[in-house]
């Protein structure tokens, strides 16, 4: 104890820095004010303090001047993370991930547990090259489907989805923003940053061990829980009726109908065919679609949405009328802009009650096209254009996102806010996938810097028609824009004031006699514990200077301790606040805070033990 007490310096600037770090950690943890505000407040405090009491370096220059404290906003790691978020959004908006997820389910058909294992493995692999958040968002409905097939609650599998994504992110430099930030912080400290596959081998070892835990242990530690709200809000069981007019040149001409299913429209069933000479009802035998037919079709929302995304013109005639135009002659379906679908309910006092769908004027006024109608499981026997609207009818709409939101002020309908979702740009899927793989290839081969490859990919999304400017801007997380520079400013202050060296000396004084392997293990555990209290990204930036300091003190390659920061900071499994993917699955999985402690803490310990045994052997400590 006396040895440690002699290490404590009387350095006000260092203690102020530690106070700022503690303040930031507390504010981030309690979430009483927005994280963006906390980050800006911390930066402002540092700017004011070190302007009044500068930390002088060689030549009397202030080592923590405004240029240094604000340099995080132009940090290459931050720019890379933001650019990769845009690239990932392009993959989501074009349906590339969703199509891949559908293929996974098909591969495991007949054995849901096999599908779960395949899904978790694929999520792990994809997350090595793509931001974890969009991957988890895409696979949440897939896991819900698999849980239903298994006869299990979503709570048994949803947390494993988040864990798999984080484990995959440990294996490459761009797999997680945390990894990029550690590499950037190393370069700020004058060290060599990571290359693309620098820690892939130990990352694969940890990911493999973690995946086995997720598949075979994690489900037994999770609760069997669901909620009434989730059953009420489940929209996948609701069926909508729509009508398709077969004009000349329609792609369905000549398509055979088997029973009530038609080739080219998966998931949709034909209820009736209205033809000039007669009407047809199922089951259909030796029937093909002809020019002039009107198909009365029923299907769940997902099938209708997929059909509208694949061919925006397919359901134009859902009302039995030609598509209407807005007063300015613009196409109301949103085909030329960002398109979305949503559900609205006809109110009891709506002026549309008693009117036919296509003649109510709703499409012209709202600039939204009606894709289908649902009326308490009513079976229609007449053309949709002859159905008079009633109070309580639910309409499935397609239109621009702005027009969908404008329905909030429409007194004729009630917009079901939860039902609104953007349609994927399926026609741009190949371009998005090609752009993504080019970015990965350039980054992995070192042909150009990773930040340049990511920025090129993000910018290319717009002229290639994959995203518009608004969609690209929405992909950028304001929390990341502010939190990372704040963490980098705190890290710079720790380095300049001697705080990083002080903490490094404390660790060495307490465990240095046991050797580098023990110090590495203790340091990993300390970092992992803190990562579960604050953001893993902030933890990574704060602990990197300490890791470099310990490595220099013990005359060990700094890369080893920096790799420990990468893995430990990603071990934010024991609480839902450490990593955003945990927050994403809390609702669908119906989890509570304690569920993450019960199922995540053993995984943290398992990965800590695995790293403590493998890393000293792998790095020859």
Name the H helices within 267-390: 301-310, 362-366
Question: Confidence class of residue 614 from pLDDT cuts 50, 70 and 90?
Answer: very high
User: Across the chain, what does the average pLDDT equal?
Assistant: 79
Residue range 469-477: average pLDDT? Answer: 81
Question: Confidence class of residue 208 from pLDDT cuts 50, 70 and 90?
Answer: very high
Residue 347 has pLDDT above 50, yes or no: yes
Dig out the tokens for 431 from the structure. Answer: 């371009």
Q: How many CB atoms lie within 10 A of CB 470?
A: 11
Identify the CA nearest to 162 among candidates 180, 130, 184, 139.
139
Identify the CA nearest to 356 among candidates 382, 376, 331.
382
Dig out the tokens for 268 from the structure. Answer: 């949709």
pLDDT higher for 26 or 324? Answer: 26
Weakest-pLDDT range from 79-83, 472-476, 583-587: 583-587
Residue range 335-354: average pLDDT? Answer: 77
How high is the pLDDT of residue 534? 66
pLDDT higher for 28 or 411? Answer: 411
How high is the pLDDT of residue 141? 64
Q: From 3.30.70.1450, 2.60.120.620, 3.30.70.20, 3.40.190.10, which CATH number describes the 239-422 domain? A: 3.30.70.1450
Question: In sequence order, what are the residues at sequence separation of 6 or more whose Cβ sits closer than 8 angstroms to the Cβ of residue 218?
Answer: 159, 160, 163, 599, 603
How high is the pLDDT of residue 138? 67
Residue 318 has pLDDT above 60, yes or no: no
* 284-316 per-position pLDDT tens digit: 777 888 888 888 888 777 777 777 766 666 665
Residue range 191-207: average pLDDT? Answer: 92
* 241-282 per-position pLDDT tens digit: 788 888 787 778 888 887 777 777 777 888 888 887 677 777
b/e 146-172 (16+ beta carbons within 10 angstroms → b): bbebbebbbbbbbbbbbbbbbbbbbbb
How high is the pLDDT of residue 335? 42
**% of the chain with per-residue pLDDT over 90:** 15
Residue range 5-22: average pLDDT? Answer: 74
How high is the pLDDT of residue 181? 86
How high is the pLDDT of residue 558? 92
Secondary structure letter of residue 579 according to DSSP: -
How high is the pLDDT of residue 403? 84
Residue range 404-410: average pLDDT? Answer: 85
Question: In sequence order, what are the residues at sequence separation of 6 or more whose Cβ sits closer than 8 angstroms to the Cβ of residue 318?
Answer: 242, 243, 244, 369, 370, 371, 372, 384
How high is the pLDDT of residue 332? 44
Residue 392 has pLDDT above 80, yes or no: yes
Identify the CA nearest to 525 among candidates 495, 467, 569.
569
Q: How far apart (Å, rounded) are the C-alpha atoms in residues 36 and 38? A: 5
* 495-542 per-position pLDDT tens digit: 788 877 787 778 777 777 778 999 999 999 988 987 886 667 778 888
Highest mean pLDDT, choosing among 324-328, 426-430, 575-579: 426-430
Residue 270 bridge partners (DSSP)? 297
Residue 454 has pLDDT above 60, yes or no: yes
Residue range 331-359: average pLDDT? Answer: 72
Reduced to 3 states (helix: H, G, I; strand: E, B; else coil), residue 594 is: helix
Strands 421-422 and 284-288: unpaired
Identify the CA nearest to 545 among candidates 583, 516, 507, 574.
507
Highest mean pLDDT, choosing among 4-8, 170-174, 326-330: 170-174
How high is the pLDDT of residue 112? 67
The domains of the chain are located at 239-422
Residue 489 has pLDDT above 70, yes or no: yes
Q: How far apart (Å, rounded) are the C-alpha atoms in residues 62 and 54? A: 5
């Amino acid at each position: 104890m006396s040895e440690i007490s002699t290490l404590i310096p009387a350095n006000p600037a260092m203690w102020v820095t530690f106070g700022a770090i503690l303040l930031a950690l507390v504010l981030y943890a309690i979430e009483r004010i927005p994280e963006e505000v906390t980050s800006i407040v911390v930066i402002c405090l540092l700017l004011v303090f070190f302007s009044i009491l500068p930390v002088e370096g060689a030549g009397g220059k202030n080592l923590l001047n405004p240029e240094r404290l604000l340099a995080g906003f132009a940090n290459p790691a931050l720019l890379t993370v933001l650019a990769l978020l845009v690239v990932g959004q392009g993959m989501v908006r074009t349906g590339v991930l969703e199509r891949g997820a559908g293929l996974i389910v098909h591969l495991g058909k007949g054995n849901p547990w096999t599908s779960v294992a395949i899904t978790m493995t694929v999520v792990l692999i994809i997350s090595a090259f793509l931001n974890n958040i969009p991957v988890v968002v895409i696979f949440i409905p897939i896991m819900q489907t698999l849980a239903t097939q298994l006869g299990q609650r979503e709570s048994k599998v949803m947390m494993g989805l988040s864990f798999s994504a984080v484990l995959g992110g440990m294996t490459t430099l761009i797999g997680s923003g945390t990894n990029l930030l550690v590499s950037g912080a190393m370069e700020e400290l004058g060290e060599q940053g990571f290359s693309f596959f620098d820690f892939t081998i130990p990352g694969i070892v940890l990911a493999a061990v973690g995946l086995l835990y997720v598949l075979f242990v994690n489900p037994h530690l999770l609760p069997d829980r669901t909620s009434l709200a989730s059953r009420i809000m489940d929209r996948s069981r609701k069926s909508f009726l729509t009508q398709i007019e077969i004009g000349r040149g329609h792609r369905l001409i000549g398509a055979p109908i088997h029973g009530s299913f038609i080739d080219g429209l998966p998931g949709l069933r034909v209820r009736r065919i209205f033809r000039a000479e007669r009407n047809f009802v199922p089951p259909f035998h030796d029937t093909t679609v002809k020019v002039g037919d009107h198909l009365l079709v029923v299907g769940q929302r997902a099938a209708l949405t997929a059909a509208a995304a694949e061919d925006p013109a397919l359901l134009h005639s859902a009302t039995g009328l030609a598509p209407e135009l807005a007063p300015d002659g613009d196409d109301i379906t949103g085909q030329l802009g960002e398109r979305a679908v949503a559900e609205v309910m006809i109110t009891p006092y709506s002026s549309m009650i008693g009117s036919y769908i296509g003649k109510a004027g709703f499409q012209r006024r709202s600039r939204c096209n009606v894709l289908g109608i649902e009326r308490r499981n009513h079976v229609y026997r007449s053309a949709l254009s002859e159905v008079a609207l009633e109070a309580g009818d639910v309409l499935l709409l397609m239109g621009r996102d702005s027009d969908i939101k404008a329905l909030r002020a429409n007194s004729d309908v009630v917009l079901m806010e939860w039902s609104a979702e953007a349609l994927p740009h399926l026609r741009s899927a190949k371009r998005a996938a090609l752009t993504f793989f080019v970015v990965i290839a350039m980054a992995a081969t070192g042909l150009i810097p990773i930040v340049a490859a990511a920025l090129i990919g993000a910018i290319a999304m717009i002229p290639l028609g994959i995203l518009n400017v608004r969609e690209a801007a929405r992909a950028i997380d304001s929390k990341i824009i502010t939190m990372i520079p704040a963490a980098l400013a705190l890290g710079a202050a720790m380095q300049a004031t001697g705080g990083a060296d002080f903490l490094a000396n404390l660790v060495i004084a307490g465990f240095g006699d046991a050797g580098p392997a023990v110090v590495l293990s203790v340091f990993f555990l300390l970092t992992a514990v803190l990562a579960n209290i604050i953001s893993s990204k902030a933890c990574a930036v704060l602990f990197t200077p300490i890791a470099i300091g310990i490595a220099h003190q013990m005359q060990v390659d700094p890369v080893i301790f920096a790799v420990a920061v990468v893995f430990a900071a990603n071990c934010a499994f024991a609480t839902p606040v450490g990593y955003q993917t945990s927050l994403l699955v809390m609702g669908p999985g119906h989890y509570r805070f304690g569920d993450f402690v019960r199922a995540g803490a053993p995984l943290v310990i398992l990965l800590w033990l695995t790293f403590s045994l493998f890393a000293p052997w792998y790095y020859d400590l």
